[in-house]
Amino acid sequence: MRLNILRHLKAVGHEVTCGEVGNNLNISKSSGSYHFKLLQEAQLITARKEAREKYVMLNPETFDRYSPFF
C-alpha cells in the first residue's frame, strides 16, 4: 500500500490531501493515517495540517536519494 501511495504522489507531483489519496487508492481513513505516518517518519513524504485537512507530498530529497529509478 505504501508503494502505491508513493507512486500516486510521484504521479501527481504536488501537494494533495490525504483524503484525495485515500479516495483514489480506495484506502480507509484509518489505514491511510497509519501509512502516511510511517512514510512521514521515513521522511519519504512531507505533511502539514491546515484546519481539518492534512496535506501530503513526496519529499524529493529523501525519495530521490533512496529510489532514483522509481
| CA–CA gap between residue 57 and residue 13 (Å, rounded) | 8
Class in CATH terms, 2-66: mainly alpha
Per-residue pLDDT of the chain (70 residues; tens, 9 = 90+): 999 999 999 999 999 999 999 999 999 999 999 999 999 999 999 999 999 999 999 998 887 787 766 6
| Global pTM value | 0.87
What is the number of alpha carbons within 13 Å of residue 31 lying toward its C-beta? 10
How many other C-beta atoms lie within 10 A of the C-beta of residue 36? 20
Calculate the CA dihedral of residues 19, 24, 44, 50 and round it to 10 degrees.
-20
